[in-house]
């Protein structure tokens, strides 16, 4: 399985002067492509200029993936993209957010601390905008195995719901979570139900982000808040690593947001921006570490069980710099919104 832009566009391989009829014949006999071209998610324009090509640096699966800059609005997004059915294999057992259990040998405690810390940071962020108590309704879009929701449920007694396009029912961490499997905007969820909707590293995977944001707006109570964290394209780690930047995460990431485009996107969906943060709950150190590893590995894939030792050491060495994570635009961004009044 080689997924290249060339395979997607046989016509571009045709030599100059080849009669058009022959090009059409070549296209006709090729099997249906896994790729599809899409107009801009923000402005619907179809004209673009190349931005960069990326590989699946995390798992090392074959293929090159193309990101473009929209000529209409400047949005950077993957085009052509994998059809939604064909991207599913990339969310497999190796996909870290879907790991149900991990055994990392002597560093299991460290791994669990990192994962727990991630959920604690999410909780802290949400609490700045939303009071959590037994009457609260919280929805996490792209909830994966649901550890964040489980934390909110057990600590505050909140009613929690989650959506993920991968069927993760049966995970112990989803016990007590109202789990919906499928595309977010197709779920039969009640309007004006939620006090908080969270999207932790979801929107950059989305196949229709404006529709997603409009759906979230409809599901929020008039006083409710939507918290969105995504990788930040105009960040230090992107400048360091370029086409090996972990925030590209090809082919799963469909859209790359800089600050301006993230804010424009939420406003387009009719949301009002309450706050913008140049960091998130996700550890920026992961991007420093993984970017350096991706540079060295050149698309061979990162063996997480081998990487955990250097990750552990690096985290210790980087601690003084990471203390400034909230002030130095390393890798992440968070926007907090509410319905426009
Ligand atoms: Zn555009």
14-17 own/partner pairs: CB under 8 Å, 24+ apart: none
- pLDDT on residue 13: 38
Q: How far is the CA of 72 from the centre of ligand 1 (A)?
A: 5
Q: How far is the CA of 65 from the centre of ligand 1 (A)?
A: 19
Q: How far is the CA of 251 from the centre of ligand 1 (A)?
A: 20
Q: How far is the CA of 171 from the centre of ligand 1 (A)?
A: 39
* CA nearest to 218, candidates 247, 189, 257, 198: 189
- pLDDT on residue 10: 37
Q: How far is the CA of 203 from the centre of ligand 1 (A)?
A: 16
- pLDDT on residue 30: 46
Instruction: List Cβ neighbours of 180 (8 Å cut-off, separation of 6 or more).
Output: 161, 162, 163, 164, 187, 189
Tokens 């071209």 correspond to: 37
- pLDDT on residue 95: 63
- pLDDT on residue 325: 82
One pLDDT digit (tens) per residue for the chain, 341 residues: 333 333 334 333 333 444 444 444 444 444 568 999 999 999 999 999 999 999 988 888 888 999 999 999 999 999 999 998 888 888 875 565 555 556 667 767 777 777 888 999 999 999 999 999 999 999 999 999 999 999 999 999 999 999 999 999 989 999 999 999 999 999 999 999 999 999 999 999 999 999 999 999 999 999 999 999 999 999 999 999 999 999 999 999 999 999 999 999 999 999 999 999 999 999 899 999 899 889 888 888 887 777 778 888 888 888 888 778 888 899 999 999 999 87
Instruction: List Cβ neighbours of 194 (8 Å cut-off, separation of 6 or more).
Output: 137, 138, 139, 161, 219, 220, 221, 224
Q: How far is the CA of 237 from the centre of ligand 1 (A)?
A: 24
- pTM, two decimals, is 0.86
- pLDDT on residue 322: 78
Instruction: List Cβ neighbours of 19 (8 Å cut-off, separation of 6 or more).
Output: none
Q: How far is the CA of 68 from the centre of ligand 1 (A)?
A: 10
Q: How far is the CA of 43 from the centre of ligand 1 (A)?
A: 4
Rounded CA separation 73/62 (Å): 31
Q: How far is the CA of 160 from the centre of ligand 1 (A)?
A: 35
Q: How many helices (H) and strands (E) does the chain have?
A: 11, 13
* Cβ count within 10 A of residue 85: 8
Q: How far is the CA of 78 from the centre of ligand 1 (A)?
A: 12
- pLDDT on residue 32: 61
Q: How far is the CA of 10 from the centre of ligand 1 (A)?
A: 25
Q: How far is the CA of 299 from the centre of ligand 1 (A)?
A: 29
Cα→Cα distances 130→98, 116, 317, Å = 27, 20, 35
Rounded CA separation 158/151 (Å): 10
Q: How far is the CA of 49 from the centre of ligand 1 (A)?
A: 11
Q: How far is the CA of 46 from the centre of ligand 1 (A)?
A: 8
Rounded CA separation 326/339 (Å): 26
Q: How far is the CA of 243 from the centre of ligand 1 (A)?
A: 21
Q: How far is the CA of 248 from the centre of ligand 1 (A)?
A: 19
> What secondary structure does DSSP assign to 123-146, as a single string?
HHHHHTT---STT-EEEEET-TT-
Q: How far is the CA of 77 from the centre of ligand 1 (A)?
A: 9
The tokens describing 120, both together, are 């604690």
3-class secondary-structure state, position 194: strand
Q: How far is the CA of 335 from the centre of ligand 1 (A)?
A: 20
Q: How far is the CA of 247 from the centre of ligand 1 (A)?
A: 20
- pLDDT on residue 222: 96
- pLDDT on residue 98: 56
């Amino acid at each position: 399985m080689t997924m290249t832009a060339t395979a997607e566009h046989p016509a571009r391989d045709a030599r100059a002067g080849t009669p058009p009829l022959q090009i059409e014949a070549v296209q006709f006999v090729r099997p249906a492509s896994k790729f599809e071209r899409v107009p801009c998610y923000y402005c619907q324009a179809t004209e673009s200029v190349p931005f960069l090509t990326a590989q699946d640096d995390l798992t090392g699966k074959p293929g090159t993936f193309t990101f473009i800059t929209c000529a209409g609005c400047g949005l950077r997004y993957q085009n052509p993209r994998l059809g939604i059915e064909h991207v599913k294999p990339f969310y497999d057992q190796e996909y870290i957010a879907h790991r149900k259990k991990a055994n990392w040998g002597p560093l299991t405690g460290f791994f669990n601390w990192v994962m727990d810390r991630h959920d604690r940071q999410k909780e802290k962020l949400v609490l700045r905008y939303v009071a959590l108590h037994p009457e609260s309704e919280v929805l996490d879009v792209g909830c994966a195995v649901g550890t964040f929701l489980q934390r909110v449920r057990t600590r505050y007694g909140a009613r929690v719901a989650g959506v993920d396009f991968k069927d993760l029912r049966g995970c112990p961490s989803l016990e007590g979570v109202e789990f919906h499997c499928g595309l977010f905007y197709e779920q039969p969820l009640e309007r004006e139900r939620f006090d908080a909707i969270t999207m932790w590293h979801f929107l950059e995977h989305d196949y229709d982000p404006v529709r997603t944001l409009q759906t979230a707006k409809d599901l929020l109570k008039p006083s409710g808040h939507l918290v969105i964290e995504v990788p930040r394209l105009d960040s230090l780690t992107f400048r360091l690593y370029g086409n090996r930047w972990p925030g590209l995460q090809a082919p799963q990431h469909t859209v790359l947001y800089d600050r301006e485009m993230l804010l424009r996107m939420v406003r387009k969906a009719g949301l009002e921006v309450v706050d913008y943060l140049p960091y998130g709950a996700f550890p920026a150190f992961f991007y420093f570490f993984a970017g350096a590893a991706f540079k060295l590995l050149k698309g061979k894939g990162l063996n997480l069980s081998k990487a955990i030792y250097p990750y552990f050491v690096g985290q210790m060495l980087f601690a003084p710099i990471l203390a400034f994570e909230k002030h130095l635009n390393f890798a992440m961004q968070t926007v907090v919104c509410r319905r426009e009044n």
